[in-house]
Amino acid sequence: MRKIEVFDTTLRDGEQSAGVNLHIHEKLEIAHQLARYGVDVIEAGFPASSRGDFESVQLIARQVRTCSIAGLARSTERDIDAVRDALREAASPRIHVFIATSPIHMKHKLNLTPDQTLETAVAAVKYAKRFCADVEWSAEDATRSDWDFLVRIITRVIDAGATVVNLPDTVGYTTPEEYGNLFRYIRERVPNIDRVKLSAHCHDDLGMAVINTLSAIQAGVSQVEVTVNGIGERAGNTSLEEVAVALAIRKDYFQAETGLNLEQTIRTSRLVSKLTGMVVPPNKAVVGANAFAHESGIHQDGVLKNPLTYEIIRPEMIGLTSNVMAIGKHSGRHALREKCKELGLQLEEQEFNRLFRAFKELTGKKKEVTDDDILALALESTNEAMASRYELEFLNVFYGQDSISTTTLGIRRPDGTVVREAATGNGSVEAIYNTIERILGEPVQLIDYRIQSTTGGQDALAEVYVKVQYHGVTSSGRGIDNDVLSASAKAFLDAINRAALKDRVEDKVAASAAPTV
């Protein structure tokens, strides 16, 4: 059975999704979960793009020791230096350098001739190789590049020391057969190709990212670049879980396997969805809420007699266990600590104390506390621990069908002072947001508002996601509470807090100046 390595780029390409802005601790939490899931490489960020990205790559390299950590660099010494410095303490570092190879990118973006591009690529790989044994090279927009030019440049970068060669479908343009043939062409014509691993990286603009990646596997690539839930710029990247489960279920056909612990699939998907605020569509393959729901009577009857009649994926295989009661009213600190361990949550003492208080409060209001509830509360308490924030101090809403909604609320500012204000609105949520805007003294444009519950039942926790435009930055935030209005207020403040993080502003500037693979 061929081994396929999983290169996860949720924290780099996935984080480039519009409106996603993860805090450094959230990135670390995702990285820990990816390591638990068993990915081979985590692309932790693009260190030259901002101070925030540099610091999160550095933190992940320090703390996540069981897989390779990669950082992305353009083909410049400055970018490569930033990756080298960020990965200095990594157990197994990888420098990932890229340059565009398509005529349109070379001419209009790089302003280089093909020969100049080739020399720049070789110089960058040689330079990276001085600091790191493991150097991945990517031909940005490979699928719109001249195949014979790719043969030339790949031969040279392998001679320069590249250990992995990645041919990204940067713009989501290719088709399964064409992409497979590209890899076959390269394997036949590049004389030193046996010295490197070949890698596939796809985007979903035409809805073909997963099938293109699978086709590349059939054509001999041994690394796939993917993101959790397929998040990423525009239509997103290849979805990690779809490729992993397809390989596992159709082992007979693909004759290839990953080293993933598939029972971590659902947890990984939910964590990323919660932290990024990017909701998984219910009909999404493998991890969608309806992926295992059988509505038709004939199907239900069959599944009850033998699940395999209509279910090709066993729910346990991907970690979809029934949401049993985790712990209850009488559980103490010890039981909660054990539960956190079981869920793989790594909380600092202060965060654990916040979680315990929130847990006790919840058991007073909710009969059954589930794993999902604990997870939601834990994420909320790490969220609250983020520095320099506006916090909700109190909230009163007056609502009547025939009257104007009125809100009074108090916000604790980063300096500790509490500001109180009141305002009205057409509905309760609008009244809350108008009040917050009044306190800030600045306009906040609400772009998106979504609400869902953590689990079923009347007493489920409410989770609200919002996207706002504030200080010229698009930012998303989430809030969790028993009450939908409190959750709405918290989500709005969270988005504002995230927009206000200065490094995020730098990020956006750097990101717009630096297109990537």
Residues near Zn ion (CB under 5 A):
13, 517
Whole-angstrom Cα distance, residue 29 to residue 42?
Answer: 13
394: how many CB neighbours lie within 10 A of its CB? Answer: 12
Measured from the CB atom, is 171 or 447 closer to Zn ion?
171
Whole-number minimum distance, CB 170 to Zn ion, in Å?
6
Measured from the CB atom, is 13 or 380 closer to Zn ion?
13
- Give ∠ CA 361-367-368 in degrees, rounded to 5: 100
Residue with tokens 């020791």: 65
Whole-number minimum distance, CB 74 to Zn ion, in Å?
14
Whole-angstrom Cα distance, residue 378 to residue 451?
Answer: 19
Whole-number minimum distance, CB 485 to Zn ion, in Å?
39
Measured from the CB atom, is 17 or 117 closer to Zn ion?
17
Residue nearest to Zn ion (CB): 13
Measured from the CB atom, is 12 or 490 closer to Zn ion?
12
Q: For residue 495, give the 3-state DSSP assignment.
A: helix
Note whether 446 and 430 are within 8 A (CB): no
Measured from the CB atom, is 2 or 234 closer to Zn ion?
234
Whole-number minimum distance, CB 70 to Zn ion, in Å?
13
Whole-number minimum distance, CB 517 to Zn ion, in Å?
5
From first CA to last CA, the distance across the chain in angstroms is 30
Take residue 82 and report the two structure tokens written for it. Answer: 């930033």
Whole-number minimum distance, CB 99 to Zn ion, in Å?
14
Whole-number minimum distance, CB 206 to Zn ion, in Å?
15
CA-nearest of 463, 403, 452 to 428 is 403
Torsion (CA) 484, 490, 493, 498 in degrees, nearest 10: -120
Measured from the CB atom, is 226 or 320 closer to Zn ion?
226
Residue 416 identity: G
Residue with tokens 């393959």: 285
Residue with tokens 């590209």: 182
Q: How many CA atoms lie within 13 A of 425 on its CB side?
A: 18
Measured from the CB atom, is 52 or 172 closer to Zn ion?
172
Strands 462-470 and 473-481: antiparallel
